Amino acid sequence: MSIDEVATGSRRQLVDHARTVAEQADQHAVTLESMLAILRSPRLGDRAARTAAIDTATTALIGLRTATDEQRSSMLEPVTGAFRRLRDDLGPLTRFGHLEVELVEPPASGRALPGEVAHGARAMVRTAVLALVDRGDAHRVRIQWDCDGLNLLVGIRDDGRGELSVHDDWLRPIAERVAALDGVLAVTSTPGWGSSIDVRLPLDPRPEPHPLADLIPLTSREKDVLRLVASGARNHAIARELMISDNTVKFHVSNLLRKTGAATRSELAALAVSHYEHDDPRRAYP
C-alpha cells in the first residue's frame, strides 16, 4: 500500500468519525428536546410524563451504548477499563433495587481485551443481572472477571434458589453471545444455595486452517489433481479436464497419497475438502 493510499484511508476515517460525532450530537439534542417537551406538556399528568420521559431516555441510552460499542468493536480495551465500564453500566440497574452486587475486579496486569470480547462480556453480565432483578429470588450476586493470558474468565454467582440450568430461556442471549465469540459456557446450581454462570472467552481469534498445499509441497499439477479429487471426479474425468492420460492421473494420485499420508482416495478427498477452503472443491465435473 502506498503512502498516498494510507493518507487517504486516514482522512476517510477522520471524516467518518467527525460525521458520527455530529450525528450523535444531533440525536442527543433531539432526545433532550423530546424530554423537555414531555415534561412541559399540559396534557400529561406527572405519572404519565415521568413514564414517557423514562422511556425516551432509556431508548436513547440503549442507542448510545450500541453506537459506542460498535465504534470500539475493533479497538483494544484495558481489562480494568472494560470492567470499570461494566461497573458504570450496572449502577443504574441496581441502585434502587433489592439486589446487592459485589464486583471483583480483574488484575491490572491482565491482557487488553479485543473490543468485541469486552462488549460481549459486559452485555452478558448486564443480561444476567437484569434477569436476576426481574426474577427476584436472589438477594446478592458476585461478579468476577479474570484473565489467564489466553481467555477472559467471567463468573456470575447468585444466592437464589439454585434451580438455574443451561436450558433456561433467559440464558439463551448469553449462550448465543458466547457461541459467537467461540467461548465456553457452564452453569452449575445447588438447590437452596444459588447458581453459578461461568464463561470463558478466548482473546485471540481461532486460527484459520491452512490450505493443504501450504502444509505439504505439491507441484502445480498435483494441486490441480487434488482439487478435482476433492470434487469427487474420477480418474477419467480428471484426465479429460486436465487433458492428460488416465495413467498420468493415477501417477499423481499415488504421489498425493504418499505425500499426505492418506490411506485411501476417500481420505485424500476429505483432507482436501477440509483444507482447501479458498477454493470450491464441491464443483461438479463430468
SS3 190: strand
Residues 144 and 66 in one domain: no
Residues 90 and 66 in one domain: no
The pLDDT score that the predictor gives to residue 54 is 81
Residues 247 and 229 in one domain: yes
The pLDDT score that the predictor gives to residue 193 is 92
CATH of the domain at 270: 1.10.10.10
207 lies in a domain? Answer: no
Per-run averaged pLDDT (10 residues), the chain, 286 residues: 48 61 68 77 82 78 64 72 89 76 90 88 91 87 93 95 88 90 92 94 72 68 86 87 89 87 80 58 38
| 84 CB-near residues (< 8 Å, 6+ apart) | none
Residue owning grid cell 433495587: 97
Report the distance separating Cα 197 and Cα 128, nearest Å: 9
> In sequence order, what DSSP letters do the residues of 73-88 get, joined into one string?
TTSEE-HHHHHHHHHH
Structural domain span for residue 26: 3-72
280 lies in a domain? Answer: no
**Crossing angle for the helix pair 172-180 and 115-135, nearest 10 degrees?**
170
Is the separation of the CB atoms in 126 and 90 below 8 Å?
yes
Residues 163 and 224 in one domain: no
Residues 254 and 179 in one domain: no
pTM of the entire structure? 0.53
255 lies in a domain? Answer: yes
97 lies in a domain? Answer: yes
36 lies in a domain? Answer: yes
Number of domains making up the chain: 3
Q: Which of 183, 202, 221 is the last residue of a domain?
A: 202
Residues 160 and 237 in one domain: no
The pLDDT score that the predictor gives to residue 261 is 79
The pLDDT score that the predictor gives to residue 125 is 93
281 lies in a domain? Answer: no
Residues 145 and 258 in one domain: no
* Secondary structure E strands in the chain: 76-77, 100-104, 113-114, 140-147, 151-158, 184-190, 194-202
Q: Distances from the Cα of 279 to the Cαs of 237, 273, 276, in angstroms?
A: 19, 9, 6
Nearest CA among 183, 81, 191, 199 for reference residue 137: 191
Is the separation of the CB atoms in 201 and 175 below 8 Å?
no
Q: Which of 202, 235, 258 is the last residue of a domain?
A: 202
CATH of the domain at 155: 3.30.565.10
The pLDDT score that the predictor gives to residue 270 is 78
The pLDDT score that the predictor gives to residue 151 is 93
Is the separation of the CB atoms in 253 and 225 below 8 Å?
yes
18 lies in a domain? Answer: yes
Report the distance separating Cα 77 and Cα 82, nearest Å: 6
Residues 260 and 159 in one domain: no
Report the distance separating Cα 34 and Cα 40, nearest Å: 10
Residues 172 and 64 in one domain: no
Residues 68 and 80 in one domain: no
DSSP state of 169: G
The pLDDT score that the predictor gives to residue 2 is 46
Angle, alpha carbons 195-132-66 (nearest 5°): 115
- Burial zone of 76 (CB within 10 Å; 0-12 exposed, 13-18 middle, 19+ buried): middle
284 lies in a domain? Answer: no
Residues 90 and 196 in one domain: yes
Give the count of alpha carbons within 13 A of 50, CB side only.
3
Q: Which of 45, 72, 99 is the last residue of a domain?
A: 72
Determine how many CB atoms are found less than 10 A away from the CB of residue 244. Answer: 16
Residues 89 and 198 in one domain: yes
